[in-house]
Amino acid sequence: MRINDLLMGLVMALLGAITIWASKDFPPLARQPYGAGTFPTIIGAFLVGLGLLLSLRGWQQRGALFLWQGQVTLSRTLICLLAVIAAVAGYVLLTPLLGFPLVAPLMLTLLIGWLSDGRWGMAVIVAIVASAVVWSVFALLLHVPLDLGILEEVIY
Amino acid sequence: MAELHAALGMVFAWDVLAVILGASLFGLLIGAIPGLTATMATALLVPVTFFMEPLPAISAIVAATAMAIVAGDIPGALLRIPGTPASAAYTEEAYLMGRKGKIGQALGVNLVCSVVGGLIGVAILAFFAPLVADFALRFTSDEYFWLALLGLSCAVLVSGADPLKGAISMLIGLLISMVGMDSVSGQIRFTFGISDLLSGISILPVLIGLFAVAELLRRMPEIGHTHFPPPPPVEKPFSGVGSLMWQYKGGIARSGVLGTLIGALPGAGADIASWISYALSRKLSRTPEKYGTGHPEGLVAASSANNAALSGAYIPALVFGIPGDTITAIIIGVLMMKGITPGPDVFTSNATLVNAIFIVFILANLLLLPLGLLAIRGARHILAVPSSVLYPLILLFCIVGAFAANNSLLDVWLMLGLGLLAYFLVENDFPIGPMILAVILGPVVESNFMRSMIKANGELLVLFERPIAAMLGGLALLVWLAIIVSSVRSAWQTRASATSS
């Protein structure tokens, strides 16, 4: 999705202004004009300046504020974005409760089944095998503490 | 000699060799699949390298990236779709050679030239890096401040057609690097009360978010909408390659050297090296009219240059800790996670490791020949891997990888947030390269500036007192002048075109 430079520039300038405001209370080092706030303030000032320059350029172009271009439809792209967000959010929120061995195969099955237009049998098999491989590599080999969730009570 | 012997012993250990082989096969898979880049391969490898010793970790990244760049040539020649951006410059040429019935020769030229280019790059790296490091031992915080700033400035200048957007991308990266406890004053900044952010935003979720998740978000909607035709069979990949190499030996040598030099420039990676080498080769050719018709001369030059650039990027990375491209930015991040700060001191304190890295480069480049041949032979199978299966698997790997560094689910949220940010920025022509370089170089710029100011009681002009610092400072200011002029000119042109239309 193309957003007009006028808007992008204003967002960047706003980000810069917030950075300057949030840096104003950082104290300087003893007997120094510089401190923890120096760099964030400089970065913020540049963001304001360059953001406004970008806005000016966008305003001169006078294009649409939002423009969709490309072979894939906007709705398809938005659905894919939401699917990835939902998958990551689902993993983060559900793994502590249900555990990796349940959440990962579920997430993979849903994503693969949906993306492959309903080949659910293949999706389930791939999801289980892939989750087992990831578990073996990260949890067993590299000792990453992937959550077991409720399975912890079942196993131990 | 004893150091070289020790380095050989380090490299020819079974675990390092196994890592090189495994990472090469991983790079082969990622590089050969259209749309997945060498940087993405590196970002996906980092979570695993996190648990390795420094040498196997770097070996994995060196081997995977070299292989990914070579494998990226395969879909370019077979389907006219570059596997990685580094192959884009000569995709048309290789594809048209295939249409003339020389597909095997095109891929053979790609492969052998990549190996030769890579070896030229390694030779230059191994020869010059210790010399530059010896010189850099005299550097103080003044020089390092300017050098890091120069690195950031060059990254903005060469990042794309729009330096203004490159500069904004760099500033966002700098802002990300400011989160956490300030290393000089101990002041806590922008943590919003989250204790996990006290040590700053971990490099792992940043890398995975910017280079893997953002790429997934871009590619996933295309599933079912882009269909690759079955690739043609590849026969006799090395037939006639030797004579072509001999015919264009000057071009190979020139592109190898040029690629290494371009790779050493901060921000300019393998893709820029191959475009410039291709253009220069055309300019110097006796038959420029044949370019774009399936002529091997440009292919030879650009294939040599992109792999040479990979090695070249390690010169500033190892000697100064200034990344030459996104991949070396990741390498620096990996080294820092392992408590090794790249810089001239590494050449004396860790000389064996540095020599071992050079040997790994040679080994990884030589390994390209058999594995590249394997990739060419197995291209039909690799290209048949359905994206609908591959992308969800990559997403799971991203999530677990981001979690693995600190065992923190906050890192997974950060990965997602940064991935979405990078997606929207790239969709609007903001380059991501300056952002990752800024994340790495932000603390370097700030800490060296503060050290210089503490030494000089806040006197700014001291940054120009030492001759090399003054020269680097002058160069950095010149680059910024060029960025400003370019941005103003672009704004002026936009205004002129808006007025005329």
CB pairs under 8 A between A and B: 178
For residues A135 and A78, state if they share a domain.
yes
Question: Is residue B298 in a domain?
Answer: yes
- Select from A84, A116, A145 the Cβ nearest to the Cβ of B395: A84
Q: Write down the pLDDT at residue A9.
A: 94
Instruction: Tell me the C-alpha distance between B21 and B42, whole Å.
Output: 15
Residues 114-143 (A) with a CB less than 8 A from some CB of B: 115-117, 122, 126, 130-131, 134, 137-138, 142
> Whole-model pTM above 0.90?
no
High-pLDDT (> 90) share of chain A, %: 59
> What confidence tier does A93 reach under pLDDT thresholds 50, 70, 90?
very high
> What confidence tier does A132 reach under pLDDT thresholds 50, 70, 90?
very high
Which pLDDT tens digit goes with each residue over B270-297? Answer: 778 888 888 888 888 888 888 888 888 8
Question: Is residue B453 in a domain?
Answer: yes
For residues A46 and A115, state if they share a domain.
no
For residues A60 and A94, state if they share a domain.
no
For residues A79 and A139, state if they share a domain.
yes
3-state SS assignment for residue A117: coil
Instruction: Tell me the C-alpha distance between B237 and B356, whole Å.
Output: 32
Does the pLDDT of residue A60 top 70, yes or no? yes
Query: Is A113:A125 a contact under the CB 8 Å cutoff?
Result: no
For residues A62 and A93, state if they share a domain.
no
Question: Is residue B230 in a domain?
Answer: no
For residues A35 and A61, state if they share a domain.
yes
Q: Write down the pLDDT at residue B267.
A: 66
Q: What is the DSSP letter of A29?
A: P
Domain final position from A33, A67, A101:
A67
CB contacts, 8 Å: B184 with chain A: 29, 36
Q: Write down the pLDDT at residue B45.
A: 86
Q: Whole domain around residue B125: which residue ranges?
A: 2-224+237-500
What single-letter amino acid sits at B292? G
Q: What is the DSSP letter of A28?
A: B
For residues A81 and A129, state if they share a domain.
yes
For residues A57 and A84, state if they share a domain.
no
Classify the complex by whether its ipTM is higher than 0.90, answering yes or no: yes
For residues A57 and A78, state if they share a domain.
no
CA-CA-CA-CA torsion sign (B259, B262, B263, B264): positive
- In what helix (H) or strand (E) does residue B363 lie, and over which residues does it extend? helix B351-377
- The string over B359-377, giving b where at least 16 C-beta atoms fall within 10 Å of a residue's C-beta and e elsewhere, is bbbbbbbebbeebbbebbe
Q: What CA–CA distances, in Å, run from A15 to A18, A51, B196?
A: 5, 9, 23
Question: Is residue B232 in a domain?
Answer: no
For residues A133 and A93, state if they share a domain.
yes
Average pLDDT over residues B391-404: 91
Which pLDDT tens digit goes with each residue over B296-349? Answer: 888 888 889 988 888 888 888 888 888 877 788 888 888 887 777 788 887 777
- Select from B221, B391, B453 the Cβ nearest to the Cβ of A72: B221
Average pLDDT over residues A36-62: 91
Q: Write down the pLDDT at residue B160.
A: 67
Q: Write down the pLDDT at residue B287.
A: 85
Q: Whole domain around residue A142: which residue ranges?
A: 74-155
The domain total for chain B is: 1
B98-104 contacts, C-beta under 8 A, 24 or more apart:
B98/B232, B98/B294, B99/B294, B100/B294, B102/B240, B102/B294, B103/B77, B103/B78, B103/B232, B103/B234, B103/B235, B104/B234, B104/B235, B104/B236, B104/B237, B104/B238, B104/B239, B104/B376
Question: Is residue B231 in a domain?
Answer: no
Question: Is residue B247 in a domain?
Answer: yes
Average pLDDT over residues A111-138: 93
Q: Which of B46, B198, B403, B497 to mutate against chain A (most A CBs within 10 Å)?
A: B403
CB contact under 8 A, B221 and A1: no
Domain final position from A12, A34, A67:
A67
CB contacts, 8 Å: A108 with chain B: 392-393, 396
The residue written with tokens 């440009």 in the block is: B298
Domain final position from A67, A95, A118:
A67
Does the pLDDT of residue B498 top 70, yes or no? no
